[in-house]
A and B are shown apart, each in its own frame.
Chain A
Amino acid sequence: MTLFVTAICLILVSAFLAPCTRKGSTFWDTCSLACGLGGTLLGLVATLVALAHPDGAVLSHPWPGVGGLFVLRLDGLSAVFLLPAFLICGAGLLYGSGYWPCQDKPASSAWLRFFYPLLGAAIGILLTAGNGLVFLFAWETMALCGYFLIVTERDQEEVQQAGFLYLAATHTATLALFALFALLGDHAVLNTLPAVGSLDGTTPLAAALFLLALFGFGFKAGIMPLHIWLPKAHAAAPSHVSALLSGVMIKMGIYGLVRTASFFHGIPNWWGWTILVLGMLSSILGVVFAIAQHDIKRLLAYHSVENIGIILLGLGVALLGRSYGVAAMVVLGLAGALLHVINHGLFKALLFLSAGSVIHATGTRELNRYGGLLRPMPLTGLCFLGGAIAICGLPPLNGFVSEWLIYLGLFQGSQPLAASLPSVLLAAPALALTGGLALLCFAKVFGLTFLGTPRSELGAAHEAPRTMLIGMGVLLAACLAIGLLPRMVYPLLRAATLAWLPTAAPPAIALAALAPAGLITLAALLLLLLLGFFTLKLRPRQAFPSVPTWGCGYARPLPRAQYTASSFAELITGLFGWFLRPQTQEVKPQGEFPVQARFATHTPDLVLDLGITPFCSLLATAAAWLRHRLQHGIVGLYLLYPALTLCILLILAL
């Protein structure tokens, strides 16, 4: 545990070097970067050491002035979340030094240098928090750091709006969490969290706790009706911040849910069904909204909603397994969910970082202005392609493994052992639909961005600098490693499953027996061999001239004659039009020689733009009207208000 604390301290030093030193100084910038990288590396090592020696992984100190204990505890469940957090934080720090160089933007670079590692350290503490006090403290630090990182470019109105929305959402979530911990009681807040399986899940109090956790943590995780802050915040933040927010921070919501669920025994079955249905809703709607986007980072943000949905599917399967006593479902569902937490963190961070490289090179987030970027930036293209394959759940990358585990968990519901659960199988087509739509979506993004010819003057698009490439390369390598050798994460998942299950429960079945990892490795290697074979086989014998992409037989193909983001997605947005409600503005060409014509589409967020915003503006109008009535300037009547209140209270009291 000393190692872990050292790592956190090193990351904090990295954060506090920024405000304490001269802005724009390359030397101190490098120092801060080195500290941050060292801290994250040490954190990775410390987590692995703690996994190997679980009995030493507790730290408890009295916390003077607060009246409680400062407890840190690192178990298998924390480790699953800590490993990707440290990795992504380190990769992001490295990437950031090329993406947001301190020579060009000294002020905002120092700003990022301060809040970025601070967010990492807060997450490290949050994941090891042993009582409610430390948890809420770290949670609030994390939430505020997230806000400050989102508003890095705070002179833009869009960024201010995104920051405000994020702040409102995160504080609503924190309110629910305060209620949650208040209900858990003094001991949980001041001393130590309830032991695994120590609370009865069938009481009304347990139901209240579950619903509060679902709301508070679900807001942070971005479960479908509560995802409102995600698209704007992820789009407004710098790319490596989006990577950390989407890859790590929203997973804290999942961590909270999983941790809260571990407190209970006798979990009622409606918990599992609720999570399963919310997971289906989030995954399908998330990807459908993603397909309709034109802004590359908004699109990736909606994919986070989708992947949170997939994680929830796994968690739902695990909870149902607990309720109905099917051990295989518990093991497979939880392993799938947790592995998807790791995987989504890795590939989504990779995607955000490579999208950041594209934005860095072209200066725009509009998909409709990209095109043909594979030529100037092949390595970024490769990284993006890797991330895209992983997020679609295709072998040989890591996304496949976790989705495969969740599929297996869902199919366990149809085994004769679990006779009462055939309806769980309905979630499998939902997962398949999600995978298919994700594939379509990334075919769109990759095709529009990297293939074809440039759709607008992009200036001198250039390959990303070396630090950025290394940052992405590390993540791509991790994705590939999990995809090729899933066996190596099994011990980690097993430790997490054991930490999640109450000791009284029957011993967990070995994951390897249920999901043979060797087969995946074999299949992935075969696939790679096949790929290599065809690449060699189809290699051109002589050098081809470099020409623009095939133009459908036109003699002089125009860049504007290519597919756009909306035209590519038209089929799906049309099919889901009853739900997406895309808005189109159209001026049709008229006459033989049409002078002007234009066409634009925009897909608003259903919940935010068509639900919450109108409701809140209505509320504001009503409040303004009421204030106008109440505040009329007649002093005598002002006196009447407290008197009436007093009278009503007295009448109620008698």
Chain B
Amino acid sequence: MNTPPNLILLFVILFNFFILGTSRLNTCIRSVALQGALLSLLPLFLHTLTFHTYLLAVGAFVLKGLLMPWLLFRAIRQVKIRREVEPRIGYIPTLLLGALTTAGAFIFGDRLPLLPEHLHSLFIPAALSTLAAGFLMLITRRKAIAQVLGYLMFENGIFIFGTLLAETMPFLVEMGVLLDMLVAIFVMGIVMHHINREFSTLNTEQLSLLRE
């Protein structure tokens, strides 16, 4: 239980709760980046150390830990917001929901038809709970930038799943996922910029004006 991967995964779950509970945008971004950076260490502990593993770890670290936060900080500087994530439902209920989904993930993870070596490990519950936490961010936050963060956490969850499969999963697919995410951040940045310019706020509730 006390192996480095499990420690990393525990930290990842703790970061989930921290992100769900914090109201400061800068902290949020830093936490998501730190979570990503931690995760980028996972392949090093799991697989034999080949060039591919190094490349994957370094690539993930650079993208998740350095490039993304830099892009996001730049974005919030441009649209001039500092704090207040402005949740749709309060922090405490969000945290409670997060706890519920994490518990659900632990229960659900044991019932999946898995390989014997993955059974009763922390990987599946951690991945599922990170996915759920990212999803909660997406649903409960009003500011577009918080939704981008939710999307990033979502991506982290998928990354945990991916590391389980990294032996069989071709290297190209892994890098493809990372690249995908980068492009998505760019797109979201552009969308945020435009939302801000049109409505002079990043509040996505204004988008409901666009409904039929």
The answer to the question of A633 belonging to the interface, with a C-beta cut-off of 8 Å to chain B, is yes
Contact between B141 and A636 (Cβ–Cβ < 8 Å)?
A: yes
Contact between B211 and A636 (Cβ–Cβ < 8 Å)?
A: no
Contact with A along B181-210 (1 / 0, CB 8 A): 000000000000000000000001101111
Residues of A contacting B108 in the complex (Cβ-Cβ under 8 angstroms): 650, 654
From the candidates B138, B140, B141, B210, name the one contacting A633 in the complex (CB within 8 A). B210
From the candidates A632, A640, A650, name the one contacting B211 in the complex (CB within 8 A). A632
Residues of B contacting A637 in the complex (Cβ-Cβ under 8 angstroms): 139
The answer to the question of B117 belonging to the interface, with a C-beta cut-off of 8 Å to chain A, is no
The answer to the question of A510 belonging to the interface, with a C-beta cut-off of 8 Å to chain B, is no
C-alpha spacing A636/B136, complex, angstroms = 9
Closest chain B CB from A643 CB (angstroms): 6
The answer to the question of A535 belonging to the interface, with a C-beta cut-off of 8 Å to chain B, is no
Chain A, residue nearest B88 (CB): A636
Residues of B contacting A636 in the complex (Cβ-Cβ under 8 angstroms): 88, 138-141, 147, 204
Most A CB within 10 A of own CB, among B111, B139, B209: B139
Contact between B135 and A635 (Cβ–Cβ < 8 Å)?
A: no
Contact between A639 and B135 (Cβ–Cβ < 8 Å)?
A: yes
Residues of A contacting B209 in the complex (Cβ-Cβ under 8 angstroms): 633
Residues of A contacting B139 in the complex (Cβ-Cβ under 8 angstroms): 636-637, 639-640
The answer to the question of A634 belonging to the interface, with a C-beta cut-off of 8 Å to chain B, is yes
The answer to the question of A590 belonging to the interface, with a C-beta cut-off of 8 Å to chain B, is no
Interface hits, A391-426 → B, CB 8 Å? none
Interface of A is mostly: helix
Residues of A contacting B207 in the complex (Cβ-Cβ under 8 angstroms): 633, 635
C-alpha spacing A646/B212, complex, angstroms = 26
Can you list 17 residue pairs at the A/B interface with Cβ under 8 Å?
A631-B212, A632-B208, A632-B211, A633-B207, A633-B208, A633-B211, A634-B205, A634-B208, A635-B147, A635-B204, A635-B208, A636-B88, A639-B135, A639-B138, A639-B139, A654-B108, A654-B112
Residues of B contacting A650 in the complex (Cβ-Cβ under 8 angstroms): 108
Residues of B contacting A639 in the complex (Cβ-Cβ under 8 angstroms): 135, 138-139
C-alpha spacing A273/B147, complex, angstroms = 64
Closest chain B CB from A627 CB (angstroms): 9
Contact with B along A635-653 (1 / 0, CB 8 A): 1110110010000001000
C-alpha spacing A639/B209, complex, angstroms = 18
Chain B, residue nearest A650 (CB): B108
Contact between A643 and B208 (Cβ–Cβ < 8 Å)?
A: no
Chain A, residue nearest B211 (CB): A633
Residues of B contacting A632 in the complex (Cβ-Cβ under 8 angstroms): 208, 211
Closest chain A CB from B192 CB (angstroms): 13
Interface hits, B35-90 → A, CB 8 Å? 88
Closest chain A CB from B206 CB (angstroms): 9
C-alpha spacing A640/B139, complex, angstroms = 7
Residues of A contacting B210 in the complex (Cβ-Cβ under 8 angstroms): 633
Residues of B contacting A654 in the complex (Cβ-Cβ under 8 angstroms): 108, 111-112
Residues of A contacting B111 in the complex (Cβ-Cβ under 8 angstroms): 654
Closest chain A CB from B137 CB (angstroms): 9
Contact with B along A603-641 (1 / 0, CB 8 A): 000000000000000000000000000011111110110
Residues of A contacting B141 in the complex (Cβ-Cβ under 8 angstroms): 636
C-alpha spacing A650/B208, complex, angstroms = 30
Closest 8 CB pairs of A and B: A633-B208, A633-B211, A636-B139, A639-B138, A635-B204, A640-B139, A654-B111, A639-B139
Chain B, residue nearest A627 (CB): B212
Chain B, residue nearest A640 (CB): B139
C-alpha spacing A633/B147, complex, angstroms = 16
Closest chain A CB from B132 CB (angstroms): 9
Closest chain A CB from B196 CB (angstroms): 16
Chain A, residue nearest B131 (CB): A643
Residues of A contacting B140 in the complex (Cβ-Cβ under 8 angstroms): 636
C-alpha spacing A639/B154, complex, angstroms = 13
Residues of A contacting B135 in the complex (Cβ-Cβ under 8 angstroms): 639, 643
